[in-house]
Amino acid sequence: MIQVITVEREYGSRGAELAYHLAERLGWKLIDSCLVDEVAQKAGVAPTLVKRCDERIDPWFYRFGKTIWLGGGLQRRPGDPDVFDSERMVEFIRGYLLEQATKGSCVVVGRGAACTLAKAPGAFHVFVYASMARKIRWLEEKFPEHAREAEREILATDRRRAEYIRRFHQREWDDRRLYHLMMNSCMGMDAMVEATLEAAGLHSVGASERAGQAVG
């Protein structure tokens, strides 16, 4: 029985929106931006610091300096905010996602969840993509102030996400072998929700949840 759905997405493809609708339909927990606060609390650092590391790799000069620092025998102290970086962020995310997977009933957006939970029983992995034209249109509608640089921002964000997966999970972000289902969002949100539930064998779960809400 599927208990976890992960949704990886190209920027502007509406993948995060799909995750929201799936969680709402199933009555499951949505793990997306709330992850920042969860990690900040567990790590004992400010949410702003966690957000800067979210789905990002550290700058090359930081990684170079860190290699020299650790190579000299100096060790970081757990929980020290001065050494919280993307690597530690990934450590916290892995632990948190594995913990949530054992509880089940959750939909996870990005963060390499398809890699972390690749062998987790009951996990179903989705990748959402779209044409550049559709992604630009989405960004222009959502953030009109960034319309002039929409394509550049989309390409930069997707490149950053791919680098994140490559560095911390040694996989290619859009590798079809990572996912059970890959969808072009041109099919529409309703169709994507139905296709995901059908492929994951969760139509009956969604139906029972809605019936329970109606009776209650």
| pLDDT, tens digit only, all 216 positions of the chain | 999 999 999 999 999 999 999 999 999 999 998 888 888 887 777 788 778 877 777 443 334 344 444 444 445 544 444 567 778 888 888 899 999 999 999 999 999 999 999 999 999 999 999 999 999 999 999 888 877 889 999 999 999 999 999 999 999 999 999 999 999 999 999 999 999 999 999 987 755 454 444 444
Domain 4-206 belongs in CATH node 1.10.10.10: no
- Each domain of the chain, given as residue ranges in start order, spans 4-206
What are the beta bridge partners of residue 5? Answer: 107, 124
pTM of this structure: 0.82
- What is the phi/psi pair of residue 125, to 5°? -115, 130
What is the per-residue pLDDT for 203? 82
Residue 210 to residue 207: CA distance in whole angstroms: 5
Per-residue confidence (pLDDT) for residue 206, from 0 to 100: 58
The pLDDT value given to residue 92: 86
pLDDT in tens, 32-74: 988 888 888 877 777 887 788 777 774 433 343 444 444 444 4
Can you say how many angstroms the Cα of residue 31 is from the centroid of all Cα atoms in its chain? 8
Q: Which of 186, 205, 17, 192 is nearest to 109 (CA)?
A: 17
Tokens of 127: 């990748």
Position 209 scores a pLDDT of 54
Judge residue 21's burial from the number of C-beta atoms within 10 Å of its C-beta, 0-12 exposed, 13-18 middle, 19 or more buried: middle
What does the DSSP assignment read for 94-122?
HHHHHHHHHH--EEEESTTHHHHTTT-TT
